[in-house]
Amino acid sequence: MEYCYTREFNQKHKLYTIGGKGIPFAPNGIALESILLFFGIIAVLAVIAVVAFVKKVSFLQSLFTNAYLIIIFGVVIFVWFLFSLTWDNKSFFGFLKGRFTFFANSRIQTEHEHKTVLYKQKVSYQRKKRWI
């Protein structure tokens, strides 16, 4: 029987620190693929901006001067980034659904999936004598 090394050899290259300091918003690291794609898109936008201003393409000039193109690409990249992450090993919508249901049901106290009636009420205990 042969052992499948696919999982061991197909690991993503990740960055966990920058200059010896940990990345606070990405404790599991940032994939090198994501970093290269991000800077690649910025480079393409810079080349388009330079060409638009050198060749005097008025439509592209207005998109860059009013920042519409940058905002559109930024939103697209941000949405792609959110959907590419795993949030507690769930999809982005599954994670958001769990957060919304938690906040909606945070006032309902349950124990073993049954509602408890003692929420924010004073509880007093009395000792009972046992007859042995």
Give 18-69 pLDDT, tens digit per residue: 888 887 777 777 888 888 888 888 898 889 889 988 998 888 888 888 888 7
List residues bridging with 22 in a β-sheet. 17
pLDDT of 20: 83
* Higher pLDDT among residues 129 and 58, named by residue: 58
Domain locations in the chain as residue ranges: 32-106
Residue 29 · residue 18 · CB < 8 Å: no
Residue 119: is its pLDDT beyond 80?
no
Cβ of 116: how many Cβ atoms within 10 Å? 11
pLDDT of 29: 79
SS3 22: strand
Contacts of 33 (CB under 8 A, 6+ apart): 12, 13
Residue 87 · residue 95 · CB < 8 Å: yes
**Percent of the chain residues topping a pLDDT of 70:** 84
Residue 49 · residue 65 · CB < 8 Å: no
Look up the pTM and report it: 0.47
- State the pairing for strand pair 17-18/21-22: antiparallel
Residue 124: is its pLDDT beyond 80?
no
Q: Could you report the per-residue pLDDT of 33-45, keeping only the tens digit for each? A: 888 888 888 898 8
φ, ψ at 110 (rounded to 5°): -125, 155
* Higher pLDDT among residues 121 and 22, named by residue: 22
pLDDT of 132: 64
Residue 83 · residue 95 · CB < 8 Å: no
SS3 77: helix
Q: Which residue has the tokens 């290259």?
A: 13
Range of lowest pLDDT (8-22, 47-61, 110-124): 110-124
